[in-house]
Amino acid sequence: MMLNTNRLVLREFVADDWHAVLAYQSDSRYLQYYPWTERTAQEVQAFVQRFISWQAEEPRIRFQLAVVLRAEGQLIGTCGIRMGAADVRKADLGYEIAPSHWGQGYATEASRAMLGLGFEELGLHRVWASCLAENAASARVLEKLGMRCEGRLRDNHWMKGHWWDTLVYGMIEDEWKTRKE
């Protein structure tokens, strides 16, 4: 599977992609919003291999794609839509972009392509996403996509020695269709 946007190519992961993923997942700016304090080559290889294994699922219910800059061919992140089962018609959206490429609209662009896949190709009725409440940039991405903040889960995520609030966003297919028109 491959999705193209103005500036990006979203493509299937391959084994050698772990090098680029390790580079951005080792950045302290990235690590502030994840439970890890560091990343090892072995951990990132397993991370990438999980996405590769999802490619063979039948029926396929998880689509986690590498985000690559079209002009340079550089992998800068990942974006995906994941259903719990083939017949549920709902999925969660997730993304991560290398900190060196934050603030340039890449997460929004990649996520918009994944929403298109979900609503237009997979026939989803609902897509949801969550982020740490402290991650204002991620919340802005979800809002730019037209997703609605559906709630704040207080002290929902234990990480790095304390509880974090989580924001939950959602979009239903009618909202996607209206937004596209």
Residue 38's Cβ-side half-sphere holds a number of Cα atoms within 13 Å equal to 3
How many Å apart are CA 109 and CA 4, to the nearest integer? 10
- Does this model's pTM top 0.75? My answer is yes
**Structure confidence by residue, pLDDT tens digits, 111-130:** 999 999 999 999 999 999 99
**pLDDT band at 36; cut points 50, 70, 90:** confident
**Structure confidence by residue, pLDDT tens digits, 89-111:** 999 999 999 999 999 999 999 99
Structure tokens at 141: 């991405």
**156 close to 163: Cβ distance less than 8 angstroms:** yes
Distances in whole angstroms, Cα of residue 60 to Cα of each of 26, 44, 85, 141: 30, 23, 9, 26
Q: Give the start-to-end residue ranges of the domains of the chain.
A: 2-180
Q: Of the candidates 148, 135, 78, 134, which has an alpha carbon nearest to the alpha carbon of residue 111? A: 78
Mean pLDDT of 27-41: 91
**Structure confidence by residue, pLDDT tens digits, 147-172:** 999 999 999 999 999 999 999 999 99
Q: Which CATH architecture has domain 2-180?
A: 3-Layer(aba) Sandwich (3.40)
**Structure confidence by residue, pLDDT tens digits, 4-20:** 999 999 999 999 999 99
pLDDT of residue 30: 93
